């Protein structure tokens, strides 16, 4: 199962997991993941174990237990059981290992299970979970979470190993300080060949210098020269053949001579027991090189090769980190302690629709982000606190978008500030889906209730109407007693109309799927309200984009949507007001915008206007906009509303265009 298919319980922590790896604070990242495992799985605690390099046992690396849980005694038997599980995994590293293994060692209050921590198909550790004794197996979501974080733990172990290896190599370099003091200023990390040549020439004389690199297949050595070629020094050599090939095979230095050079020193260069290349220098002087020259040059060459190797490791790690950041679906901004941007991944530029040049800062008076978003960034950079899941609506984009902001400071081992990372994710669609689901649940419940109420009311109304009609026929039109009966008849008709609306709301018909011209629907609606527009002296205008595409839908239902919005606009307009209808296209949508210069809607009421039974009219049912929104959503569209009190409102209907 891919990460994208995993349950939502794991997805909420993936950004924090990526943060831990990206900034290479492996110790703290592993502790964070272990604590997260305990929290999500509701276990008593967890141990992260690694194998000892020499002893047949496991070593506790990270532990996390709940405060109310006594920390268990780590016995040799327990570690031996864990090591047995680890070796069983190791011996079948390229098979398909299980995700969970039971530990036979007994614990007084808990059951124990081990989860393999893998890297490139090989085990590098075990995550032991302590479950309560009466606890059943992990849920599917909890197992999925553990299956997601254990590969991250494997990557962190590798980062930690590389970091420790670099620290170890740096300590070895310090022992050569006096020898390499002059040489270190000549080292150019971009090219080990040039670096070795410069350092070697600074303390030993030679007439020719070659560096053989191991070929991709590991079978031959290919030479690189710093001057004109010499026939007596071959350019390509099989490993194991001739003095140079033997030096490479045996990893031993050789002193020899050729027809052109009386002294030739052949020095294999290795890093951690692996052959990197072979250094060959020659002098026309006989006996030019002594034992101390060989020792000194070998030390310098090995250390420079180690530096080059570490530098390439750093480049790879940097590339790995950048690839993680660039592949994230969240936008990432990294700030230095001064609050200046040092990195912006591609997604942040897409989400915000702008560039973030190096050195950009939310503190600058110009080039700021939208207000609330800029305030959150300033707050995070000023207080050095963690911000979690802060949602901000960006209104200066079309359409308006909602983003989720997470920010956290990262520090060095002594607690000094290194900077702040800000993660911004576009959650517009997710938020809209959540609102749509909430509204759908509410409408479904109200629909059932409305249908029940409508049926219960309609039955007695029918009886009342029959009695009223009977009395009317008995009294006659001119009888004074008939006047109240006509009022009752009118109100019964009004109630029946409301009941009809309730039933339409409760049992919406499935929309047709035929070609519809939006302009034709608007024209039909205009005909229906034309007299009312003239009566109130309201100006009406309509603009249509040339070659407007058709939409696929139900013209009758769409007419119900448009007439509802237009009628509401007319009722909100004063005499001499204006109603404008604009039909346009954007991306895959046909957009029908209704703009009026009426009284507007207060901002506090905007979120509720599509709720059923929400109305300010004395004779309204409050179902019009609810039904309009449902119809549009069933057509695969949406409605956006903007309104300013005393200035007017704009209802914009988005409907999918017909795909040719």
Q: What is the CATH number of the domain that holds 8?
A: 3.30.450.40
Domain assignment present for residue 9? The answer is: yes
Give the pLDDT confidence score for residue 651 in this predicted structure. Answer: 92
598 and 480 in a single domain? The answer is: no
Residue 201 lies in a domain: yes
Domain boundary residue, one of 471, 506, 541: 506
Same domain, yes or no, for 183 and 279?
A: yes
Given this model, what pLDDT does residue 61 score? 87
For residue 546, the SS3 value is coil
Position 629 in a domain: yes
pTM exceeding the 0.75 threshold for the entire prediction: no
Domain boundary among 322, 339, 360: 322
Q: Which positions ≥6 away from 81 have C-beta within 8 Å?
A: 103, 104, 105
Q: Do 417 and 483 sit in the same domain of this protein?
A: no
Structural domain contains residue 171: no
Clarify whether residues 153 and 195 are in a common domain: no
Residue 546 and residue 479 share a domain: no
158 and 190 part of one domain: no
- Domain boundaries, position 469: 431-506
279/212 Cα distance (integer angstroms): 6
What does the pLDDT read at residue 655? 92
Do 8 and 154 lie in a common domain? yes
554 and 580 housed in the same domain: yes
Write down the pLDDT at residue 652. Answer: 93
User: Which residue numbers in the chain have pLDDT < 70?
Assistant: 1-24, 53-55, 93-99, 103-110, 164-200, 202-203, 225-233, 292, 303-304, 306-309, 311, 396-399, 436-437, 439-456, 497-498, 500-509, 613-622
Question: Which CATH number do you get for residue 476?
Answer: 1.10.287.130
The answer on 183 and 151 residing in a single domain is: no
Q: Quick one: tokens of 637?
A: 């569209």
What are the residues whose beta carbons fall under 8 Å from the beta carbon of 356, sequence distance 6 or more? 333, 341, 344, 348, 349
Cα separation of 465 and 488, whole Å?
9
3-class state of residue 126 by DSSP: strand
What's 411's domain CATH number? 3.30.450.20
Verify that 528 and 648 share a domain, yes or no.
yes
Identify whether residues 60 and 161 lie together within a single domain.
yes
Residue 172 lies in a domain: no
User: CATH number, domain at 523?
Assistant: 3.30.565.10
> Quick one: pLDDT at residue 171?
43
Is 128 found in the same domain as 21? yes
Please check whether residue 645 lies inside any domain of the structure.
Answer: yes
Gap between the Cα atoms of 285 and 264, Å rounded:
10
Q: Which residues contact 386 (CB under 8 A, 6 or more apart)?
A: 407, 408, 409
Domains: count for the chain? 5
- Looking at 124, 141, 165, which one is the last position of a domain? 165
Beta strands, E only, 376-527: 387-394, 401-411, 417-426, 514-516
Closest C-alpha among 649, 635, 656, 497 to residue 558: 635
Identify whether 617 is part of a domain.
yes
300 within a domain of the structure (yes/no): yes
Tokens representing 36 are: 């997260």
CA gap 428, 180 in Å, rounded? 59
């Amino acid at each position: 199962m891919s990460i994208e298919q995993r349950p939502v319980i794991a997805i909420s922590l993936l950004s924090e997991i990526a943060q831990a790896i990206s900034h290479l604070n492996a110790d703290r990242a592993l502790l964070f993941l272990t604590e997260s495992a305990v929290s999500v799985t509701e276990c008593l605690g967890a141990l992260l174990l690694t194998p000892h390099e020499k002893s047949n046992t496991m070593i506790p690396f990270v532990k996390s237990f709940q405060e109310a849980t006594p920390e268990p005694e780590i016995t040799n038997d327990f570690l031996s059981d864990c090591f047995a599980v680890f070796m069983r995994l190791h011996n079948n590293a390229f098979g398909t290992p299980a995700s969970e293994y039971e530990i036979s060692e007994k614990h007084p209050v808990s059951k124990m299970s081990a989860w393999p921590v893998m890297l490139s198909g090989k085990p590098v550790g075990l995550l032991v979970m302590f479950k309560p004794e009466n606890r059943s197996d992990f849920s599917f979501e909890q197992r999925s979470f553990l299956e997601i974080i254990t590969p991250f733990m494997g990557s962190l172990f590798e980062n930690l190993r590389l970091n420790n290896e670099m620290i170890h190599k740096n300590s070895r370099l310090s022992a050569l300080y006096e020898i390499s003091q002059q040489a270190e200023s000549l080292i150019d990390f971009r090219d080990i060949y040039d670096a070795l040549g410069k350092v070697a020439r600074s303390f030993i004389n030679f007439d020719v210098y070659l560096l053989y690199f191991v070929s991709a297949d590991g079978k031959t050595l290919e030479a690189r020269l710093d001057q004109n070629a010499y026939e007596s020094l071959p350019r390509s050599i099989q490993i194991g053949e001739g003095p140079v090939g033997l030096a490479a095979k045996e990893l031993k230095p050789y002193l020899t001579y050729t027809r052109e050079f009386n002294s030739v020193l052949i020095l294999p260069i290795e890093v951690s027991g692996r052959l990197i290349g072979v250094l060959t220098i020659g002098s026309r002087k006989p006996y030019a090189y002594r034992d101390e020259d060989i020792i000194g040059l070998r030390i310098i060459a090995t250390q420079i090769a180690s530096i080059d190797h570490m530098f390439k490791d750093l480049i790879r790690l940097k590339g790995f980190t950048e690839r993680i950041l660039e592949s994230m679906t969240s936008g990432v901004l990294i700030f230095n302690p001064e609050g200046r941007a040092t990195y912006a991944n591609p997604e942040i530029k897409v989400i915000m629709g702008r560039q973030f040049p190096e050195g950009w800062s939310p503190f600058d008076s110009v080039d700021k982000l939208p207000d609330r978003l800029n305030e959150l960034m300033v707050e995070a950079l000023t207080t050095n606190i963690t911000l979690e899941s802060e949602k901000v609506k960006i209104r200066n984009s079309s359409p308006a978008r909602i983003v989720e902001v997470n920010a956290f400071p990262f520090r060095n081992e002594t607690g000094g500030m290194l900077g702040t990372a800000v993660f911004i994710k576009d959650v517009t669609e997710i938020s809209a889906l959540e609102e749509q689901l909430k509204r759908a649940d509410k409408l479904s419940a109200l629909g059932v209730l409305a249908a029940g109420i409508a049926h219960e009311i309609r039955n007695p109304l029918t009886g009342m109407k029959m009695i009223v009609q009977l009395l009317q026929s008995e009294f006659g039109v001119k009888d004074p007693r008939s006047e109240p009966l006509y009022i009752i008849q009118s109100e019964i008709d009004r109630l029946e109309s409301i009941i009809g609306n309730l039933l339409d709301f409760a049992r919406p018909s499935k929309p047709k799927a035929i070609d519809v011209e939006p302009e034709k629907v608007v024209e039909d609606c205009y005909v229906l309200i034309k007299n009312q527009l003239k009566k109130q002296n309201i100006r009406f205008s309509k603009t249509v984009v040339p070659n407007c595409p058709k939409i696929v839908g139900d013209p009758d239902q769409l007419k119900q949507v448009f007439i509802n919005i237009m009628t509401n606009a007319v009722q909100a307009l004063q005499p001499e007001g204006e109603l404008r209808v604009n039909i346009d296209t954007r991306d895959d949508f046909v957009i029908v915008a209704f703009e009026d210069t009426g009284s507007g809607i207060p901002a506090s009421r905007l979120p509720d206007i599509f709720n059923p039974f929400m109305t300010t009219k004395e004779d309204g049912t409050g179902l019009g906009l609810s039904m309009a929104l449902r119809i549009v959503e069933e057509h695969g569209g949406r409605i956006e509303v903007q309104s300013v009190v005393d200035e007017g409102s704009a209802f914009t209907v988005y409907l999918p265009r017909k795909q040719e």
